[in-house]
Structure 1
Amino acid sequence: MELLVTYDVATTTPEGAQRLRRVAKLCEGYGLRVQKSVFEIVCTDADLVRLNDSFRRIIKDGEDSIRIYRMNRGAFTKVTVLGVAARLPHDQSLVL
């Protein structure tokens, strides 16, 4: 499945900045960063369950926001890219 994950983590405190880093690091383990707080992720149903569980453990419900959009298969190959952005190769293996 293809996901577009966006997040907004409150960073007015050191704890918030730490949550932001943890959310970003988690997303980097699953997909490709396309903007500062936006990731394109290709994953399985089981990966999505683990990802959601990890997000719930990291964020603070009253301060942070994560949005996960399920995209149609192949959506990332049909994206229109303008400016300095580049289309990313989701069909290649990630190097961790």
Structure 2
Amino acid sequence: MDLLLTYDVDTTTSEGRRRLRRVAKLCEGHGVRVQKSVFEIVSNDKDLLLLLNRLDNIINTDCDSIRIYRLPHEGFDDVQTLGIAEAQPHRDDLVL
């Protein structure tokens, strides 16, 4: 499934800045960063549940927010961009 994940972590404290780094690092392991706090993710149900569980263990549910949008099947194949944004090759081999 194609997912769009966005997050807003309260960074007014050092603990909040730490949570922000942990959320970003976790998301980088699951998808492609397309903006500072926006990731495009191709996932299956099992990996999504694992990601949600890990995110829930990181964030402060009283002041942080994560939104995940399920896109239509292969929704990333029809992305329009403006400016310096580029469509990402989500299903190509990754080079690490």
Smaller-chain TM-score bracket: over 0.9
Cα distance in 2 between the residues matched to 1:40 and 1:94: 14
Does the alignment pair 1:9 with 2:9? yes
Does the alignment pair 1:71 with 2:90? no
- Deviations 1:66-85 (CA, angstroms, capped at 9, x unpaired): 00001111111101100000
Does the alignment pair 1:25 with 2:25? yes
Query: 1:37-76 to 2 correspondence within 5 Å?
Result: 37-76=37-76
Percentage of pairs with the same residue: 59
Report the AA paired with residue 8 of structure 1. D
Cα distance in 2 between the residues matched to 1:72 and 1:94: 23
4+ residue stretches of structure 1 with deviation over 2 A? 93-96
Does the alignment pair 1:81 with 2:68? no
Cα distance in 2 between the residues matched to 1:95 and 1:60: 33
CA-atom RMSD, angstroms? 0.8
Does the alignment pair 1:92 with 2:92? yes
Q: How far did residue 9 of structure 1 move?
A: 0.1
- Helix, strand or coil at the partner of 1:5: strand
Cα distance in 1 between the residues matched to 2:78 and 2:22: 30
5+ long unaligned stretches in structure 2: none
Aligned pairs, number: 96
Which TM-score applies when normalising by structure 2? Answer: 0.96
